[in-house]
Structure 1
Amino acid sequence: MGSGLRVLAVDDVRAALDELCRLLRGSPEVAQVHAAGDALSALKMIQAEPFDAVFLDISMPGLNGLELASLLAKLSEPPAIVFVTAYDGHAVSAYGIGAVDYLLKPVRAERLADALARVGRITAAGPAHVDVPSGPAAPAPDAMPALPVESDGRTRYVRRGEVKFAEAHGDYVRLHTSTGVHLVRMPISRLQEYWEGSGFARVHRGFLLALDAVRELRSDSVGGMLAHTDLGDVPVSRRHARELRDRLLKAAQRGELRGRGG
């Protein structure tokens, strides 16, 4: 197998991540093991350097394992995906995404060896298509186009385009949409990392605003600024005011402020 496999292990539970890394490092097929404690960190690592395989937990806050795998499948040369999870109910979805294997925790050494053998065969075969166009590099996968929202034991997905603004609420964010307010367990700083490059701006310590939701900018009673949306006014701190004006102007010049209907 040449120099061996370069793998990335992803799990938000530190003990589980450490154990998975220990098992992988003890496998003769593996040359290098890297670790990530969340899906966004893993995505950045994969965009920065190549991996032969990603051993991926499914249940993680924010971007879960299935969503990350769907993003990775869009890469020109995606790594092999092996899911490592405590739940067997996602196997159909996992294989539908193109997973190489699906391991249940606690991982047995013989099952891990089987998975690594499959990864090795895929790696040795090389990419299915070698005629990669010589044009500009493919864009990075879109991070978090929708957020899972738990309600009454059911999960629904709120699309980024539905959200007018997000409001910090402790370790949660409130997503304000035309159909209601949805609570998601995620700090607003993490949501900013996901969405700031997709038409959202941090305008206040507690608010993330969709640029195309802004109808007008107003002054409040104490000389501050408010961004008016169809769902109400969003406070804009002084340190963010100029940046917001600049981004709105540039977006308007590019024709990106057509607005989103309720």
Structure 2
Amino acid sequence: MTKELSVLVVEDEPLTLDELVHLLHRVPGVGQVATAPDTVSALRLLRHQEFDAAFLDIGMPGLDGMELAGLLSRLARPPAVVFVTASQQHAVDAFGIGAVDYLLKPASADRVRQALDRVRRVRAVPAPSAAAVPEPADDLAVLKVESGGRTRYVRREQVRFVEAHGDHVRLDTRDGRFLVRMPLSALERSWSRAGFLRVHRGYLLALRAVEDLRTDAVGQLVAHTAGGDVPVSRRHARQLKEQLFTAAREGRFGRVRP
């Protein structure tokens, strides 16, 4: 039987704490989730119990999350540390002291799951059996395109971004642009697990295709790709920046070339 992960969450904002606990409980293989509103309370818990992971806010009164992580590193069996904070400014220091991940608030369900996957690797705890968490069928990895009486097939990894175009979507690839009759939401559901992110009401973007982020002449944030600039709405900007930060750290940033 796979060992369940035990997690300690240290966060002084009640709403953020509740949301993070909720997201942790949704991940298969997570057992106990203990909470502490400050570092002193956390240290009291750690006197009597070991945890596989500690999700720490950085900006807390008294001892902050960085200082708490330093104390945790002295334990006989320290938990794997995941920082959860509103700013990227401490990221270099966080990884310098051995954190396994760094989440920006508000943390998404997918990023919490990714952080726990890293915890499992560090703690050598296997993930829950694939039989218990079946993967959905990947029916849209290749799309059939009809154009000018010709039929061709476009693979998902060829696509840099997708634009909604009436009742069609337009696929931008290195070999040109192609229309396919389907809603953008269908591709979003299928391709989100393959590194595509909805960045605007009308655009789905491959993270690997992003070369950099820019601000255009009217102050709109855009993701620059070899196929052109993709607008990024304000409601999607934080998630995009967070995922690009993770991709850059793992060497997955900007792999697509013109």
TM-score between the two structures when normalised by the length of structure 1: 0.47
Q: If the length of structure 2 is used for normalisation, what is the TM-score?
A: 0.47
